[in-house]
Amino acid sequence: MEELEQQASKYDQADELKHFRQKYHIPADEQGREKIYFCGNSLGLQPKAVAAAVEKELENWRTKGVEGHFAEPKPWWTYHKQLKSTLAHIVGAKEHEVVAMNNLTTNLHLLMASFYQPTSSRYKIMIEGGAFPSDHYAVESQLRWHGFDPVQALVELQPRPNEEILRTADILQAIGQHADSLALVLLPGIQYYTGQFFDLKRITEVAQEAGANVGFDLAHAVGNVPMQLHHWNVDFAVWCSYKYLNSGPGNTGGAFVHERYADNAELPRLAGWWGHQEEDRFQMKPGFKPMYGVDGWQLSNANILPLAAQSVSLEIVAEAGVDRVRQKSLKLTGFLEECIHSIDPEGKYVTIITPSNPDERGAQLSLVFASGGRQFFEKLTQSGIIVDWREPSVIRVAPAPLYNTFTEVYHFSKILSEM
């Protein structure tokens, strides 16, 4: 353990992103001691500058009232546009392909209304078995809405026997198997339970060749792993912003629609007035004319207070740089894996079900214990280490590169060694 402690110290000293930790509020115990927060995959920590940003908009509301919609330098009616540049960079898109709006599941329904257009012969939706419940519910309801029985129309991908993750080859084979009847492939960027990062580029290529549209839920991928949604030709994607983007609980989500649909007014959609052409939006005339790009899927004017918080968090990500965040993440998660293997080299007590290939995971390792997993989780909590328990048997440990340290990973492993 001493060697691991020394290695952690060296990594922390050399960490070029270490000063970003000071930009966040770190939870503390009753004695004021900072806790070790490895739960950024569920809710990211609050940037210190958020309070002032939200208060500024509260002040504008207090002093300007409705005129705040058009008051410079940040008029509310175009506030969401300020976030486009960083969001586009994070997901690998063009600015007119991304927008901050609604929440994840609302955006998922809106985009499935456009990109799930089943016929009598092409009607199936493919998801991963054990999908996040909200996605599963959304897909089931869409199938029923269109008159299909989920038992017949829902394709759920399962790992091979005695395996935990989905092999890319098996995903592609399943797409080929259902090619004649597949309407939509909807997968996560990173699977919430196992932490697996899917090959989004290859899945998109094969699914589209089979005649299906492709969408991704990027809840656990956005701000976590670099992506190139535009170049990968993805049809659509949705995400939340409160995990690795650290924008606050339940904060405004986001959506991506590829630019090849940017000027397609004939594409079915559920419209709202904020998606109507900006130049004549306030003329209040009937007849919906969608804005160019993903903005044409907006329903209502932006939620300013949440976006004020999100703008701060995005500024931090932009300052740190997506590539630098990823490089530290690879090293931080790799060190966590090294510590676990050092303590339990044969895997007798704990199994890491997250892929061992760093390119196939983000800032998370999912651990399954041979016994006593729940007790270990409780001991971590009592020791001031915040992780995540997921039924039936997984502890998700997610060291976030913007505010976690290698020494914190060492302290986690030290408690593990005492089990």
Domain CATH code at residue 385: 3.90.1150.10
Residues 302 and 348 in one domain: no
Name residue, tokens 């026997």: 161
Evaluate whether residue 40 is within a structural domain: no
Is residue 50 included in any domain, yes or no? no
Both tokens of 32, joined, read 């004021």
Q: Of 318, 340, 365, which residue is a domain's last?
A: 318
Peptide bond preceding 73: is omega within 30 degrees of 0, i.e. cis?
yes
**Alpha carbon distance 134, 128 (integer Å):** 13
pLDDT of residue 243: 98
Count of residues in the chain: 419
User: What's the CATH number where 207 sits?
Assistant: 3.40.640.10
Q: Is 384 in the same domain as 299?
A: no
Residues 357, 128: Cα–Cα separation, whole Å: 20
DSSP conformation class of 272: -
- Total tally of structural domains belonging to the chain: 2
Question: Is residue 25 located within the same domain as residue 73?
Answer: no
Separation of alpha carbons 107 and 117, rounded Å: 16
**Residue 49 domain flag:** no
In a domain, 161, yes or no: yes
Q: What is the CA radius of gyration of the chain?
A: 22
For position 418, what pLDDT does the model report? 84
**Is the backbone peptide bond immediately before 392 cis, with ω within 30 degrees of 0?**
yes
Q: Which of 318, 349, 367 is the last residue of a domain?
A: 318
- pLDDT tens, residue by residue, 260-285: 999 998 899 999 999 999 999 989 89
Lateral strand order in the sheet of 394-397: 350-352, 365-369, 394-397, 388-390
Q: 251-263: buried (b, 16+ CB within 10 Å) or exposed (e) per residue?
A: bbbbbbbbeebbe
Question: Which tens digits make up the pLDDT trace of 359-415?
Answer: 999 999 999 998 888 999 999 999 999 999 998 889 999 999 999 999 999 999 999
Match 């998109």 to its residue by tokens.
204
**Residues 153, 71 share a domain:** yes
HSE of 142, CA atoms in CB hemisphere, 13 A:
28
- For position 327, what pLDDT does the model report? 98
The reported pLDDT for the residue numbered 393 is 85
Is position 352 within any domain? yes
Contact 316, 246 (CB under 8 A): yes
Measuring CA to CA, which residue among 98, 62, 54, 57 is closest to residue 80? 98
Does 284 lie in the same domain as 242? yes
Quote the CA–CA distance of 341 and 339 in Å, as a whole number. Answer: 6
- The pLDDT, as a whole number, for residue 97 is 98
In a domain, 273, yes or no: yes
19, 61: one domain: no
In a domain, 45, yes or no: no
Structural domain span for residue 249 = 55-318
pLDDT at 137: 98
161 and 275 inside one domain: yes
- Spell out the residues 6+ positions from residue 250 whose beta carbon is closer than 8 angstroms to its own: 103, 242
In a domain, 137, yes or no: yes
Cross-strand partners of 98: 256
Q: How far is CA 197 from CA 194, 214, 219, 363, in A?
A: 9, 16, 12, 10
Same domain, 205 and 308: yes
Q: What is the predicted pLDDT for the residue at 391?
A: 86
Cβ neighbour number for residue 278 with a 10 Å cutoff: 13
Q: Are 132 and 152 found together in one domain?
A: yes
Tell whether 412 and 265 lie within a shared domain: no
Is residue 273 located within the same domain as residue 361?
A: no
Low-confidence ranges of the chain (pLDDT < 50): none
Q: Identify whether the C-beta of residue 12 lies closer than 8 Å to the C-beta of residue 407.
A: yes
If asked whether residues 373 and 261 sit together in one domain, one would say: no
Q: Which of 375, 378, 374, 386 is nearest to 411 (CA)?
A: 386
A 10 A CB-CB count for 286 gives 4
Chain centroid to CA 359: 17
Which of 284, 302, 318 marks a domain boundary? 318
Task: State residue 208's pLDDT score.
Answer: 98
